[in-house]
Amino acid sequence: MLKAGPDERIYPVAKLTTIMDALAAEGVSPADVLNGVHLSPSEMSSPATRVSVNQCIECCRNAVRLARDPRFAYRTGLRFHVSSYGMYGFAMLSSMNFRQTMHVAEKYHELATPLTEISFKEEGDKAIWTIAPIPHPEVDAPLYKFLVELHFGIHMSLNRDTMGPSFVAREFHFTYGPPADAQTYPETFGCDVLFDQPENKLVFDAAWLDREPKAGNEITYSAVTGLCDELVEELRHRVGLVGKVREILMVNLMRPTSLEAVAKHLNMTTRTLRRRLSDEKTSFRGLVDELRMQVAIKYLRDTDLAIEEITYALGFEDAANFRRAFRRWTNHGPLEFRRHSRDESDIERPD
């Protein structure tokens, strides 16, 4: 995935617009949807507007708080269509078989304002999408649930746009426990739903993979994927120096890398690197902290690694230093964060 910072405004606004429209159907004003997002309604309607991951997260947090429909996230996901994704969506439509569509969706995922990490695989007669919300300090249990169900809805809608309305899933797997209304899930999702699973999965029959999308066209597919490659490259250029520093730090996260070593790798002086990072409104220390925080959140939320193992993986001298740093990042201790991030009982809806 692209190593973009959480405040870098490089993604299209379409995801936020769809959420805003879905909440408007429930009578929620745009001002309430955009509270803390720092965008005006007029900016939301402009194709030139670019947003950051943090803005998307804040909009989704508002949706968790404001939505009345308990299945709002999934039903909002169904509002997304390939037309919302520009060339990325067109590439999926023009694929020569549905297996190719899956690879396109996975390869160009970063063009679609990624709030989740996704992967696709085949296991016998099953085709499986695995979805995990990005590691972010604001993704608590309610928002985690929202992001998973939103993106399951998006996947179902895009699959039906590509293959027709007869596309169905076989099973949905959720890592969280069954909510109070768990008995309504099979009807909403149209298939078996399993809770307390190791991963969030959308499972469908692998027989679909050999079928041809309705608009499949080899010449169009070749041309459009070439344009997608250009868009990905353009996105990478927008990230700039910060992205390059993040990539170096991520590779060496277990062995802390100095500012001097990174500057040398980038063929510039430490003074120049420090100044240019400041121009991009960040710092070397801030980038190291941000990456450590993101990886720590992922380990605590998605694995059962012990605190000592996470301490070692992040390059801290000892667990006490890691605990102090994690509390500074999130206002929670690591074990407290792990417990709350997995606790479905924390999820409450407004009266």
How much is the average pLDDT of 298-323?
89
- Under DSSP, is residue 194 helix (H, G, I), strand (E, B) or coil? strand
Q: Which CATH number characterizes residue 310's domain?
A: 1.10.10.60
* Domain span holding position 313: 240-345
How much is the average pLDDT of 19-37?
96
% of residues, the chain, pLDDT over 90: 62
> Using H for helix, E for strand and C for coil, what is the string for 114-127?
CCEEEEEEEECCEE
- Under DSSP, is residue 53 helix (H, G, I), strand (E, B) or coil? helix
What is the total count of domains within the chain? 1
Of 175, 168, 167, the C-alpha closest to 201 is 175
10 Å Cβ neighbour count for 155? 21
In this structure, is residue 46 part of a structural domain? no
In this structure, is residue 109 part of a structural domain? no
- Range in 14-28, 170-184, 307-321 the model is least confident about: 307-321
How much is the average pLDDT of 299-322?
89
Of 125, 101, 144, the C-alpha closest to 297 is 144
- Under DSSP, is residue 83 helix (H, G, I), strand (E, B) or coil? helix
**Each residue of 309-342: b (16+ CB within 10 Å) or e?**
ebbbbbebeebeebbebbeebbebebeebbeebb
Taking the C-alpha atoms of residue 133 and residue 53, their distance in angstroms, rounded to an integer, is 12
Does residue 240 carry a pLDDT above 90?
Answer: no
In this structure, is residue 182 part of a structural domain? no
Taking the C-alpha atoms of residue 248 and residue 245, their distance in angstroms, rounded to an integer, is 5
In this structure, is residue 249 part of a structural domain? yes
Question: What's the pTM value of the predicted model, to 2 decimals?
Answer: 0.81
Where residue 346 falls among pLDDT bands split at 50, 70, 90? Answer: very low
In whole angstroms, how large is the CA radius of gyration of the chain?
Answer: 21
pLDDT for the residue numbered 238: 67
Q: Output phi, psi for 243, to 5 deg.
A: -65, -40
Does residue 101 carry a pLDDT above 60?
Answer: yes
Does residue 237 carry a pLDDT above 70?
Answer: no
Q: Which is more confident, 303 or 54?
A: 54
In this structure, is residue 8 part of a structural domain? no
In this structure, is residue 326 part of a structural domain? yes
Q: Which is more confident, 265 or 170?
A: 170
pLDDT for the residue numbered 345: 40
Taking the C-alpha atoms of residue 48 and residue 39, their distance in angstroms, rounded to an integer, is 13
Does residue 146 carry a pLDDT above 60?
Answer: yes
Interval 280-291: pLDDT, tens: 788 999 889 988
Does residue 236 carry a pLDDT above 90?
Answer: no
- Return the structure tokens found at 160: 């039906």
pLDDT for the residue numbered 3: 64
In this structure, is residue 298 part of a structural domain? yes
Q: Which is more confident, 291 or 211?
A: 211
Indicate the average pLDDT of the chain: 89
In this structure, is residue 215 part of a structural domain? no
pLDDT for the residue numbered 1: 53
Torsion of CA 209, 214, 216, 220, to 10 degrees: -140
Does residue 339 carry a pLDDT above 90?
Answer: no
